[in-house]
Chains A and B, each alone.
Chain A
Amino acid sequence: MSDPAVDPEEVRHVADLARVDLADDEIERFTEQLGDILDAFEALDDVPETEREAELSNVMRPDETRESLSQEEALQNASDTEDGQFKGPKVS
């Protein structure tokens, strides 16, 4: 068996990268669960390198202006706005 896949510090680090401020009891629970899940993902080590068919092609359109949301519509779900713009948290 390999070492436990993750420790609490790693979970904290990943949560930090993902911008989720986990509570301590969540860190504890997630450390155990993520360990089990990542162990299961180990099965992917057995997958052979496989060529991926390139059947995709880009879809382009002319670079022309077209109808879009109005400024008012775009702002209607914002928690805070000012002068027709989104307003983020106060830094200080």
Chain B
Amino acid sequence: MTAYNGYITDETIEGADDGPLAAKTVAVKDNISTEGVRTTCGSAMLDEYVPPYDATVVERLKDAGATIPGKTNMDEFGMGTTTETSAFGPVENPVAEGRVPGGSSGGSAAVVAAGDADLALGSDTGGSIRCPAAFCGVVGIKPTYGLVSRYGLVAYANSLEQIGPIAPTVEDAAELLDVIAGPDEHDATTQEAPDADGSYAAAADGDVDGLSIGVPTELLDGADEEVVETFWTALDDLEAQGASYHEVDLPSVEHAVEAYYVIAMSEASSNLARFDGVRYGQSGGYDGNWNDSFANAREEGFGEEVKRRILLGTYALSAGYHDKYYKKAQDARAWVKQDFDEALEDADVLASPTMPVPPMERGESLDDPLTMYLADANTTPVNLANLPAISVPAGETDTGLPVGLQLVGPAFGEREIIRAGSALA
């Protein structure tokens, strides 16, 4: 176990003798199924759940020779921005004392930042790889929707989430992406990338000469001053290496975070309906009317943030409110996608701060869920648009807090963001 509570379970899973990751340890977020090793999703509901099969990405890690040193702590079911909602206790930021590590893949980013694992897998539904990567000063990639199989990932919001790598450098992250990417017959939403030949790691050549960067002004408005300053310093660095930048307008992103939460919570309310304590999960041993028994088991098994999202999702989908919330959110999603596609016609990548704020103080946002949601303003639009994005360390604030730079590319344009990101880390 680690002093900062990075792992929920630290059981080692050995991979094949040979392979591209034979010398590497790769920690796995605890919402990704590992055969025979408990997979809790950070929830009391699943504290004894042992999957009977491996997620496709875990199979690929083992085939590539990786050693899995354990399952990493996370916000319960991926619902959080600080990794403080885990039933197994919060994770501390190993590089910024007294601060949160970001979430929801906070354990994965923390073990990499602390050097307790070479690499890690996270999952990103609205920023859950990029946010903790930014807050812990490491690299995280959220792949294009459909590049990486979700088979064996315990679902939170299927239409938004992807599994992706967290690593100390862009090249390391790209090597891990090479192992996990590619179609899977068990996940019908996967597809072959148009340029599947060749490796992602080879794109980490740091060559940004001639690269055109669009900067969405909306994603800088309202951001912390020091974060913005650090962001521009990183852009100047890229410019000095031959890149150019111009400002772009993405009016739709003003509504992205609200649209994201309506869609994610709606999907969550449906996905988490499966936890009734009969087939798996804590039953609490209640008898009598099944609806009451299940309601008791779920009241006991779920934490507060999970209940909040289930309630809001149920509300948004209920009779009389569906058109007002869910349908409008889908309109916003289509609008965001159009905006990004247009902006990427005149730019190779789009750049912004990953998070509008430096890592929050621990405990600060727990009582104020809305403020926590709004911190996802820069990451959620990318999930709505199904696009790939990377967070790379951009520098630090005056008090030494890590700041991340987010680069967004066109669909299946992972090589563009890897190349651009590798000029910085």
Contact = CB atoms under 8 A, between A and B. Distances in A.
B334 interface: yes
A34 to B, nearest CB: 6
Contacts of A44: 255, 258-259, 262, 324-325, 328-329, 332
Interface string A65-86: 0000100011011111000001
Contacts of A61: 185
B188 interface: yes
Contacts of A37: 261, 312, 369-370, 373
A20 interface: yes
A22 B299 contact: yes
A84 to B, nearest CB: 13
A23 B288 contact: no
Contact of A30 (B49, B255, B308, B332): B308
A91 B289 contact: yes
The 5 closest A-B pairs by CB, nearest first: A77-B280, A73-B52, A21-B295, A89-B293, A59-B188
B280 A20 contact: no
Contacts of B312: 34, 37-38
Interface in B255-297: 255, 258-259, 261-262, 269, 273, 276-283, 285-296
A88 B278 contact: yes
Given A19-B294, A53-B334, A80-B283, A40 B325 contact: no
Contacts of A14: 311, 314-315, 318
Interface size classification for chain B: 35 or more
B223 interface: no
Interface residues of A, number: 50
A50 B50 CA distance: 43
Contacts of A34: 308, 311-312, 315
Given A37-B370, A43-B255, A90 B299 contact: no
Contact of B259 (A38, A47, A77, A87): A47
Nearest to B35: A73
Given A14-B315, A20-B299, A80-B283, A48 B290 contact: no
A21 B296 contact: yes
A21 B335 contact: no
Given A34-B311, A77-B50, A86-B279, A21 B370 contact: no
Of A16, A26, A88, the most chain B CB neighbours within 10 A belong to A88
Contacts of A26: 304, 307
A6 B278 contact: no
23 contacts: A18-B273, A18-B298, A18-B314, A19-B294, A19-B295, A37-B312, A37-B373, A43-B255, A43-B258, A44-B262, A47-B252, A47-B328, A59-B188, A76-B52, A78-B279, A79-B278, A80-B278, A80-B283, A90-B287, A91-B287, A91-B288, A91-B290, A92-B288
B338 interface: yes
A43 B262 CA distance: 12
Nearest to B289: A91
A41 B254 CA distance: 12
